[in-house]
């Protein structure tokens, strides 16, 4: 007999405390196989040119593989800003995901950024960084990221790694452009920050990690010979305020130039984030 899957997930006190202490929390099996399969098929439709982009969605190709004559799934690194797509928005607005997000940042939620990441074999590493470096809004406590494995994610195919407790310093570190990294892949190069012990987050399909925007994290290169697919989204409270900091000056210029190429007119760093964000309707919890 078919049973309806639950659309709520109540964090335990222990889970809340682990996130507070370490800056991240992995929830096993949050998404089922059928849901993940639908997202993978939607990505393949984009790879084959069967669907057009909507909203601010951008198809991003892996820089390290462009010279090898690869195409489609073998070349595309990610789909950026998928939260306006009819299929992918069912991930970014999934009741289970939003239920957990609201327990971290409150009930008024906007999805600020979202990606389907493919990471083909031969993809380069994502240097250690803090997501807060990219955001001209805050405070950090009102922002959280979700990252869901679609495939088995291992060290060999470039799983995420995190530096636990690095968010507790409450510091946004200088980031630099990293040679041979993808466009806008900035990273922290200070060894006093990056030499701290890291935890490799090997995950199974459906596992989802939530993490703080000041947490130092990254991912390794994909040397496995197969793809590594995942979905990710960043959420912020609708109450955040907008202001850039001095560390973001060069990044802001990059973002403003990119907005002009995509939109035909230049938006400020702050307005670009406002333009591509989207309010999420939070369903009221039913009373028993």
Question: N- to C-terminal Cα distance for the chain?
Answer: 23
Q: How confident is the model at residue 75 (pLDDT cuts 50, 70, 90)?
A: confident
Q: What is the pLDDT of residue 257?
A: 86
Q: What is the pLDDT of residue 1?
A: 36
User: Residues 90-113: pLDDT tens digits?
Assistant: 999 999 999 999 999 999 999 999
Whether residue 285 has pLDDT greater than 80: no
Q: What is the pLDDT of residue 181?
A: 60
Other C-beta atoms within 10 Å of 45: how many? 11
Fold classified for 13-279? Jelly Rolls (2.60.120)
Whether residue 158 has pLDDT greater than 50: yes
Percent of the chain with pLDDT over 70: 90
User: Residues 216-229: pLDDT tens digits?
Assistant: 999 999 999 888 99
Q: How confident is the model at residue 61 (pLDDT cuts 50, 70, 90)?
A: confident
Q: How confident is the model at residue 63 (pLDDT cuts 50, 70, 90)?
A: low
Q: 21: which 2 tokens?
A: 């202490």
Spell out the SS3 assignment of the chain: CCCCCCCCCCCCHHHHHHHHHHCEEEECCCCCHHHHHHHHHHHHHHHCCCCCCCCCCEEEECHHHHHHCCCHHHCEEEEECCCCCCCCHHHHCCHHHHHHHHHHHCCCEEEEEEEEECCCCCCCCEEEECHHHHCCEECHHHEEEEEEECCCECCCCCCEEECCCHHHHCCCCCCEECCCCCCCCEECCCHHHHCCCCEEECECCCCEEEECCCCCEEECCCCCCCCCCEEEEEEEECCCEECCCHHHHHHHHHHHHHHHHHHCCCCCHHHHHHHHCEEECCCCCCCC
Whether residue 62 has pLDDT greater than 70: no
Instruction: Please give the Cα distance from 148 to 130 (Å, whole number).
Output: 18
The pTM of this model reads 0.92
Instruction: Considering only residues 260 and 186, tell me which one the structure prediction assigns the higher pLDDT.
Output: 186
Q: How confident is the model at residue 3 (pLDDT cuts 50, 70, 90)?
A: very low
Other C-beta atoms within 10 Å of 241: how many? 10
Average pLDDT over residues 66-90: 81
Output the average pLDDT for the chain: 89
Q: What is the pLDDT of residue 287?
A: 42
């Amino acid at each position: 007999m078919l049973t309806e899957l639950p659309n709520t997930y109540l964090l335990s006190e222990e889970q809340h405390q682990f996130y507070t202490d370490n800056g991240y929390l992995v929830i096993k099996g949050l998404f089922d196989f059928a849901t993940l399969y639908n997202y993978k098929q939607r990505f393949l439709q984009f790879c084959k040119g069967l669907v057009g982009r909507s909203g601010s969605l951008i198809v991003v190709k892996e820089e390290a593989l462009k010279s090898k004559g690869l195409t489609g799934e073998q070349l595309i690194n990610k789909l950026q800003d998928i939260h306006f797509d009819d299929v992918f928005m069912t991930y970014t607005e999934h009741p289970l995901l939003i239920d957990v997000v609201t327990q971290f940042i409150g009930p008024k939620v906007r999805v600020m950024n979202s990606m389907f990441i493919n990471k083909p074999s031969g993809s380069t590493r994502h240097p250690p960084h803090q997501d807060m470096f990219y955001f001209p809004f805050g405070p950090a406590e009102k922002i959280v990221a979700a990252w869901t494995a679609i495939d088995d994610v291992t060290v060999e195919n470039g799983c995420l790694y995190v530096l636990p407790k690095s968010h507790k310093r409450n510091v946004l570190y200088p980031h630099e452009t990293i040679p041979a990294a993808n466009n806008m892949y900035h990273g922290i190069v200070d060894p006093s920050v990056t030499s701290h012990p890291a935890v490799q987050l090997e995950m199974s399909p459906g596992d989802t990690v939530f993490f703080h925007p000041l947490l130092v994290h990254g991912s390794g290169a994909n040397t496995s010979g197969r793809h590594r697919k995942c979905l990710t989204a960043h959420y912020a409270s609708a109450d955040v305020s907008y202001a850039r900091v001095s560390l973001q000056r060069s990044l802001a210029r990059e973002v403003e130039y990119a907005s002009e190429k995509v939109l035909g007119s230049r938006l400020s760093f702050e307005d670009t984030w406002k333009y591509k964000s989207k309010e999420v309707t939070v369903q009221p919890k039913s009373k028993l």
